Structure 1
Amino acid sequence: MFTEKLYYKDSYIRSFTATVLKSEMEDDGRYFVLLDKTAFYPTGGGQPHDIGKLNNIEVYDVQEVEGEIRHYVEQPIELHKKCEGVINWDIRFDHMQQHAGQHILSAAFDDHFNYQTVSFHLGKEICSIDINVDSLSADKADKVEQIANNIILENRSIDTKWVTQEELSNYRLRKSISVSENIRLVIIPDFDYNGCGGTHPTSTGQVGLIKILHWEKQKKQTRVYFVCGNRVLRQLQNKHHVVQDLTTKLSVPQEKLVEKTEGILVQNKNLEKNINELNNQILEFEAIQLTNQIEIHDDIKIIKMAFQDKTMAELQVLARTLIGKRNDLLVLLVSDYDNKLQLVCARSESIEINVNQLLKQTLPLINGRGGGKENFAQGGGEKVISAEQLLLELIHKIKVGI
């Protein structure tokens, strides 16, 4: 069923009257209505859908499904009934600012550096475009941002025009058109010519401002994050609150925040180094204590111990320290950490037991995973038995032969 798309004619339509052509429920239980005309924009072209109301019933989603523009509503609406549609204008105008801003930003990248936009995403807070270059310098980003904002300050018109396929050759299009009929161009004269079905303001000045936030590499492309219009003010407010909070907590003016932060990072790095050294000293002391608890099983000298809350890294350091002190030890260490079991099996060179094989034959008892070498292996799994029981299982496998 055909739905007249009012937003194609005028993005500024905030309310309209329409007739319900279809009122149904999808398999997932969501109600939708199809209207003879609509000003609601459905998700598409990188732009999210509008929201609003139909006869004071919330429209929370709008999608184009098999050529139908479906308005998803919180409750069904009677078939053939006249509906008063109202667009949520704050969200619509925000989308208009972001989408027009994207056209301007993409055109600036293309004109000055020949970087074409290959995709666009209009998010709830931040927008992004992917450009076909694998890296972007700060200088080029600043230049493009300046050019884009100059276009906004010039308050150029943003026009829409319906053309035929034959007429396309009269325009300097940035990318090829994917349709052969009902072709709608969005035009910023002498700057940008694009096929687009989205909503836009009537002049660049209404975009307000464009700010590039940051960018990152995406395979062989670069994803550029940006905001336009009222979102720039929100970004500024949020960042200002953060800066003010930091200046208060760090007791420094804004211009010295970076210097102060760098100092704190260096200090923390030194503290972490000292903590690691102290932890190693503690583990060294624990290793000495453990050498007094050697057990002998089948002529094999074994140190076995169950711990609470020791990390895998600590178990590994402890095991390496023990086998480094003696050349005749088998070390079995288990830790109950974060409600899981972790274990390390290690041996001195004179011991002929393959601890990797010992570990892998034991791990199924705790649905675990792990591995290593013949003389040093580690792993972990679920706490289906106690740490002490796991140690007994290791000893049992040694006695029966692995």
Structure 2
Amino acid sequence: MFMRELFYYQNSMTSQFTAQVVRTGTEEARPYIVLSNTAFYPTGGGQPHDTGMIDEFKVVDVEKVDDEIRHYIEGNIDNLTGEHEVTGYVDWNRRFDHMQQHTGQHILTAAFVELFDFPTVSFHLGTELVTIDIATAQVTEEQLAQVEKRANEIVLENRPIETKWVSKEELSNYPLRKDVSVDEDIRLVIIPDFDYNGCGGTHPTSTGQVSSIKILSTEKMKKNTRISFVCGNRVLSQLAMRKHVLSNVARQLSVPEENAADALRKLFNDIKATEKSLDDAQNQLLEYEARELVEAGRATEVVAASFENRTVQALQKLGRAVVSQMEEGICLLVADNGDKLQFIAARGSQVDKSMKDISGAVLPLINGKGGGNDAFVQGGGEKSISANELLMEMQKLV
């Protein structure tokens, strides 16, 4: 059968059809049916496959393998034989969604070329968003707004969408947006006076059926820019989702929706100010704590203390604060943090002893790991001994 005779090419709006079973088979434990003709579109050209039913069998995947289209189904196909007539039912919501998104991609891509000469280098039709990668490292908000406006103008004009099968020699008669990669069965999808493109996907009969196109975000992809967008019913789905999120945020902030962004910004600024004040207060407390430790250890020039539930970062801050006030002293701190012990050892600027000697000696006692330099080390390991026992072992090495 010639490709152009397939039901989904003869009329992309076909959702129900009858055909004969040509053969059945199994591929990697997946049963499939091959029909004399089909309206089920197989995965290809960036467009996902159709789903639906063939009689009582659920169609879960459709693929073109060599010269046949395989309908992968759920169920036992042993009773299906050649010439058996079946009825196919395409999941129309899925098909029409794919047609809206694919056609919207054609329109948006053509608008980028028409306005700014940014060609599309790749296309992906996802379950929620559609993306195109355009050949430019940067695109401005103003350019995006112009492209979106132009694309929706084409939609609102409800221009006809035409398809034509042409030979390679006839291609020169059309102002193609990009080169065609095949030599036979060349199918053009045409929006007159706007876009001429080789494409094997399914499309509605007019641009108005796309309904609307909305650009959602951009992302830098090496030397290109990825544009995420939605078309048709997906615009309504995105609007409903974003409305729900915005309403929820506004309700929690106790402000009207239109003031939510300003209220959220103020909340973040307040949180940052509070965090800074808290950090300043903690640093002051740390300085007081360091002074008390220094006074207690002044006689021996050794500060040694153990704590419960102190992070190694907190120990590091306290240790540095101690030795900054005790140039000829050494600071040894240990923390019991649940199922593990952590410690630091620091020396003042006038001390020669390497702290790596201390960590090297005590880490095997707790099956631990650590790091640092001659002036400051930290480490941690298993709670095989108590925090005080670890601290005593460290003191013996000073």
TM-score, with structure 2 as normaliser = 0.85
Aligned-pair distance for 1:160? 1.0
| Deviation string, structure 1 residues 28-58 (Cα, Å, up to 9, x no partner) | x433333333222222222222211222222
Distance 1:106 1:343, change over 3 A: farther
Deviations 1:172-220 (A, max 9, x none): 1111111111111111011001111111101000000011112121111
* 2:94 paired residue number: 91
Is contact 2:26-2:32 (8 Å) kept?
yes
Cross-structure match for 2:8? 7
- Distance in structure 2 (CA, Å) of the matches to 1:357 and 1:59: 69
Of 24, 27, 39, the residue aligned with 2:26 is 24
1-side partners of 2:144 and 2:8: how far apart? 33
**Cα gap change, 1:212 to 1:323, in 2 (>3 Å):** same
Pair 1:221-2:224 in alignment: yes
Which consecutive unaligned segments of at least 5 residues does structure 1 have? none
Task: Output the aligned Cα RMSD.
Answer: 3.4
The AA in structure 1 aligned to 2:45 is G
Identity %: 45
Contact kept? 1:359, 1:377, Cα under 8 Å: no
CA contact (8 A) 1:24 1:76 kept: no
Q: Which amino acid in the other structure matches residue 57 of structure 2?
A: I
**TM-score (norm. length: structure 1):** 0.84
Please list, as runs of the form range in 1=range in 2, the aligned pairs for 1:216-255 lying within 5 A after superposition: 216-255=219-258
Distance 1:25 1:398 in 2: 71
- After TM superposition, which residue ranges in structure 1, 4 or more long, deviate above 4 angstroms? 1-4, 65-68, 288-296, 339-345, 363-368, 377-380, 387-401
Give the direction of change, closer, same or farther, for the CA distance of 1:36–1:357 in structure 2 (3 Å limit): farther
The structural deviation recorded for 1:161 is: 0.9
Please say if residues 345 and 355 of structure 2, whose CA atoms lie closer than 8 Å, have aligned partners that are also in contact.
no
6-15 or 311-320, which moves further after superposition?
A: 311-320
Which structure has the bigger radius of gyration? 2
C-alpha displacement of 1:142: 0.5
- Structure 2 contact 58–73 (Cα < 8 Å) conserved: yes
Going from structure 1 to structure 2, the CA distance change for 1:48 and 1:291 (only over 3 Å counts) comes to farther
Q: Which runs of 5+ in 2 are unaligned?
A: none
CA distance, structure 2, for counterparts of residue 64 and residue 364 of structure 1: 65
The residue aligned with 1:260 is: 263
Query: Aligned equivalents of 2:204 and 2:293: distance in 1?
Result: 75
Alignment CA distance shift 1:357-1:144 (3 Å): farther
Picking from 202, 206, 210, the partner of 2:213 is 210
Aligned to 1:331: 332
Q: Does 1:386 align with 2:383?
A: yes
Q: Deviations over 1:283-334 (max 9, x none)?
A: 33444555578699xx9946353532x4443233222222223232143444
Which whole-Å deviations, capped at 9, do the CAs of 1:316-375 have from their partners, x for residues lacking one?
3222222223232143444637x776654433331422539947994997675x644432
Deviations 1:67-97 (A, max 9, x none): 5533332223234344322111011101100
Distance 1:105 1:288, change over 3 A: same
Q: Which residue of 2 aligns with 1:374?
A: 374
Aligned AA (2:256):
P
